[in-house]
A and B are shown apart, each in its own frame.
Chain A
Amino acid sequence: MNAPVASIPWLVATVVAIRSETASVKTMTFDVPCWPGHLAGQHVDLRLTAEDGYVAQRSYSIASAGGLGSRIDLTVDLVADGEVSGFLHEELTVGDRIELRGPIGGYFVWSPRQDNGLLLVAGGAGIVPLMSILRTRASAKSKRPARLLYSSRNADRIIYGDELDALAALPNGVVLTHTITRGAPPGWRGERSRIGRVMLTRREFMPADDPDVFVCGPTAFVETVAGHLVAMGHAASKVRTERFGPTGEQQE
Chain B
Amino acid sequence: MHVTRGFKGERRPGMADRARLPPGQFLTPEFPVLTAGPTIHTPVDHWKLALQNGGSLIATWTWDQFEALPQTELQTDIHCVTKWSKFDTRWRGVTIDDIFRAAAVEVPPTSYLMAYCDGGYTTNLLVSDLIKGRAMIATRFDDLPLLPSHGGPARLLVPHLYFWKSAKWVRRLAFRNEDDPGFWESRGYHRRGDPWREQRYDGDPE
Tell me the nearest residue of chain B to A83, going by C-beta. B11
Q: Which of A17-25, A29-37, A56-64, A153-161 contacts B (4 or more CB under 8 A)?
A: A56-64
Separation of A105 and B7 alpha carbons in the complex (Å): 27
Once the chains bind, are A50 and B4 in contact (CB under 8 Å)?
Answer: yes
Work out how many contacts link A and B, with CB atoms closer than 8 A.
125
B24: interface (CB < 8 Å): yes
Separation of A71 and B49 alpha carbons in the complex (Å): 48
Q: Which of A141-149, A164-172, A196-204, A234-242 contacts B (4 or more CB under 8 A)?
A: A234-242
Once the chains bind, are B7 and A48 in contact (CB under 8 Å)?
Answer: yes
Once the chains bind, are A81 and B11 in contact (CB under 8 Å)?
Answer: yes
Separation of A236 and B119 alpha carbons in the complex (Å): 7
B39: interface (CB < 8 Å): yes
Interface residue from B2, B8, B35, B202 paired with A97 (Cβ < 8 Å): B2
Separation of A58 and B82 alpha carbons in the complex (Å): 7
Once the chains bind, are A239 and B32 in contact (CB under 8 Å)?
Answer: no
Name the distance in Å between B141's Cβ and chain A's nearest Cβ. 16
Q: Which residues 34-68 of B have a CB within 8 angstroms of A? A: 34-40
A6: interface (CB < 8 Å): yes
Q: Which residues 1-47 of B have a CB within 8 angstroms of A? A: 1-9, 11-12, 23-26, 28, 30, 32-40
Which of B7, B38, B183 neighbours the largest number of chain A CB atoms within 10 Å of its CB? Answer: B38
Interface residue from A51, A86, A106 paired with B188 (Cβ < 8 Å): A106
User: What does the 1/0 interface line of B115-140 toward A look like (CB < 8 Å)?
Assistant: 00001100000000000000000000
Q: Using CB atoms and an 8 Å cutoff, list the residues of chain B in contact with chain A.
A: 1-9, 11-12, 23-26, 28, 30, 32-40, 82-84, 119-120, 149, 179, 183-184, 186-188, 200-205
Q: Using CB atoms and an 8 Å cutoff, list the residues of chain A in contact with chain B.
A: 1, 4-8, 10, 12, 45, 47-59, 81, 83, 86-87, 91-92, 96-99, 104-108, 219, 223, 226-227, 229-230, 236-237, 239-241, 243, 245-246
Q: Other CB < 8 Å A-B pairs besides A51-B3, A230-B38, 4 of them? A: A57-B25, A92-B6, A104-B201, A241-B35
